[in-house]
Structure 1
Amino acid sequence: MTPEVAVDLFREALWLTALIVAVIVTPSLIVGLLVAMFQAATQINEQTLSFLPRLLVILLTLIVAGPWLTQQLTDFMQNLIQNIPQLIG
């Protein structure tokens, strides 16, 4: 395996990881911002008020986008496993 191939595999794995994290975290960040704006407008300073909506949004995101994320990860692993002979040799 040449260094270029190793770097390319690492780049692809890092990109897939960033994609998975972005899909899960972005809705949570948006809901957190909306809840923070609501708290600032109403002057409610309750920590659990911001935690529960973000948790529910993350769970909903995993339910909706979970199959697609799993398919992306499975495709990457299948491609990696199928190309083992070319990577080693």
Structure 2
Amino acid sequence: MNPELAIDFFKTTVVFALYIAAPFLLLTLVIGLVTSLLQSITSLQEQTLTFIPKLIGIGGLLLILTPWLLRSLSEFAITMISRMGTLGH
């Protein structure tokens, strides 16, 4: 395997991981910002109040995105395995 191909595999994997993780990261960012805004408005400074909304949000998003996640992960795996088959030639 030449270095360019290894770098391409690594780059593709990292970009795909960001593509999969982005919806969850954005959701936790929005929930954290809204919770922080509500805490500052109500002057309620409890650190554990952000945990439950984030947990519920992540669980709900996981249920909603499960078909997309499974399809994307299986397509990525098939693509990478088929590309690995061409390495020996």
TM-score by length of 1: 0.90
Q: Encode CA deviations 1:55-74: one digit per residue, 9 max, x unaligned.
A: 11111111111221221111
- Partners of 2:70 and 2:23 in 1: how far apart? 12
What SS does structure 1 have at the residue aligned with 2:45? coil
Output the aligned Cα RMSD. Answer: 1.2
Match of 1:33 in 2: 33
Shift >4 Å, 4+ stretches: none
Match of 1:48 in 2: 48
**Paired amino acid for 2:55:** L
**Paired amino acid for 2:73:** L
- Partners of 2:29 and 2:83 in 1: how far apart? 37
Q: Is the 8 A contact 1:25 1:58 kept in 2?
A: no
- Partners of 1:16 and 1:35 in 2: how far apart? 29
Task: Give the C-alpha shift of residue 19 in structure 1.
Answer: 1.1
- Partners of 1:85 and 1:35 in 2: how far apart? 49
Q: Percent identity?
A: 33
TM-score by length of 2: 0.90
Match of 1:21 in 2: 21
Matched, 1:11 2:11: yes
More relative contact order in 1 or in 2 (CA 8 Å, sep 6+)?
1
What SS does structure 1 have at the residue aligned with 2:86? helix
